[in-house]
Amino acid sequence: MCDEEDCEGCPSWILDILYWLPPIILILLVVLTYYPLVETDKLITQHHYLTGTILNILYHFFLFMYLITLILSVLTNPGDSRKITKSIDIENGIIGEKRFCKVCNIYKPNRAHHCSICKRCVLKMDHHCPWISNCVGFFNYKYFILFLIYSFLISATAATIVIISFFMPQNDEISPLIIIGSVIAMIIGFSFVITLIPFIAYHLALLAENMTTIEDSKTKKDNEKHIWDLGLKNNLKQVLGENYLLWFLPTYISVKGDGFNFEHR
């Protein structure tokens, strides 16, 4: 949470609202465009039943997964290093000296980093994402990856529905508000698709190498050796789990490991 020290003269409740505003906006976007898109899809179904039905099923499935993965990314604790109750591997002799966090007053486990916004050391911290008002770390990284993927898919599906509807015979009974809402949904969809493509590509590349954003930055900057790369198959399992059937489902049980100790080369 934010506090008054983060903004001079700004009440804490205002800061809290601003802190949670991005994920609220992401939810409102699909809520406000839902009705126009469903009505637009009905127009397609009237003329091409199979096409309209398939788009309707895909849209609602992607919408459900989008909301679930967003909520899980926001609400799941990414991993708090302060809750150390077991023997852990400290970065000593592998990739550097023991790292002590003066703020949390603890030795940081491998791959853990302190987040100045969350005010804690996060296990396998990737980055702090304002769009989910949370850090992306060990326990919610899979949810975050899936959220990116399903955000792309629902955006592409929404844009596709509107584009196909342009080629359908127009119904004079359709409200201008629905048309405007559909066009807005298409614009938002295109914007998200264009924005998400490079972001998803980057995180999939990190996933393939079993690396976080912070580690990627340090490796390039300090020329550090990357010791967590276990090969593509095992790297994917580290985040997505052992069961291939659960890779694209936001299941907690598929997360491999405890966030404190990691396999390395």
Which positions are catalytic? Answer: 129
Determine the Cα–Cα distance for residues 80 and 121; give it in Å rounded to an integer: 6
Determine the Cα–Cα distance for residues 90 and 93; give it in Å rounded to an integer: 9
Nearest to 70 by CA among 250, 251, 259, 207: 250
φ, ψ of residue 86 in degrees (nearest 5): -145, 170
Determine the Cα–Cα distance for residues 215 and 134; give it in Å rounded to an integer: 19
- Please state, as a whole number, how many other Cβ atoms lie within 10 Å of the Cβ of residue 141: 28
Bridge-based pairing of strands 113-115 and 120-122 is antiparallel
Sign of the torsion angle spanned by Cα atoms 255, 260, 263, 265: positive
Nearest to 88 by CA among 113, 114, 111: 111
Q: What is the 3-state secondary structure (H, E, C) of 123-145?
A: CCCCEEECCCCEEECCCCHHHHH
How open is the CA angle 209-156-134, to the nearest 5 degrees? 55
Note whether 55 and 44 are within 8 A (CB).
yes
Determine the Cα–Cα distance for residues 105 and 119; give it in Å rounded to an integer: 12
